Amino acid sequence: MGRKSVLSEKQWAEIERRLIAGEGARAIAPDFKINESAIRKRFGTQPKQIKDIANQVLAAEQAFKALPIKAQITAQGLIDDLRAVSLHLAGAAKYGSATAHRLSGIAHGKAQEIDDAAPMTEQSMESLKGIAVLTRMANESSQIGLNLLNANKDRIKRIEDAAEQDTGDSDADARAEAIALRLEASIATAKTS
């Protein structure tokens, strides 16, 4: 466990605000009597990401406002539909994985009915058939969640690969962006809980 910070959370929040406003860590550090590296360690590339996302949102809002009213209505409908699809897929993934877990548990319980000494008896064979059906259903139930996880993993891999091509090796910014994507996915999942 690391040592306790000499700065309060309020001071760290002020540093973050100044970073987002465009000040550099080197300029801020002396004001708080800490090393520039402490600021970089605490915040990494997050302030840059926040600014980039804020700029993207602003650009999207401006582009949206530049559309004719009829196109704005159509675009807003599409936005609402995409949000609903995302929310419902996340919910389906959550329920699907819960169903897969429950069915796997039932299959596990059914496995206890198999006679180890005589696994080919009629009763054991019926239990095996039940286990096969439950296992197949559990695997099918888990597919939406697994597909969403794989899609997120593929997206992170593409970002890391692009960073490697830009710098020759995976740098801290790419790792930070990958972590941010993982957190974003976790937050989205938590919101559907």
Q: pLDDT tens digit string along 98-146?
A: 999 999 999 999 898 888 888 888 888 888 899 999 999 999 999 988 8
| Closest CA relative to residue 183, chosen from 158, 152, 147, 138 | 152
pLDDT tens sequence across 54-74: 888 899 899 989 999 998 999
Examine the pLDDT at 169 and tell me if it is beyond 50: no
Q: Where are the domains of the chain?
A: 9-63, 70-191
Give the Cα-Cα-Cα angle 182, 185, 189 (nearest 5 degrees): 140
What is the total residue count of the chain?
193
Share the mean pLDDT of the chain: 82
Q: How many CB atoms neighbour CB 109 within 10 A?
A: 13
Q: What pTM was estimated for this model as a whole? A: 0.50
| Closest CA relative to residue 41, chosen from 77, 79, 90, 7 | 7
Examine the pLDDT at 158 and tell me if it is beyond 80: no
Examine the pLDDT at 160 and tell me if it is beyond 80: no
Who contacts 36 (Cβ-Cβ below 8 Å, separation ≥6)?
25, 26, 29
Which stretch of DSSP H or E encloses residue 136? helix 122-141
Mark residue 115 as left, alpha or beta (left: phi above 0; alpha: psi -120 to 50; beta: remaining): beta
User: Percentage of residues in the chain with pLDDT exceeding 90?
Assistant: 28
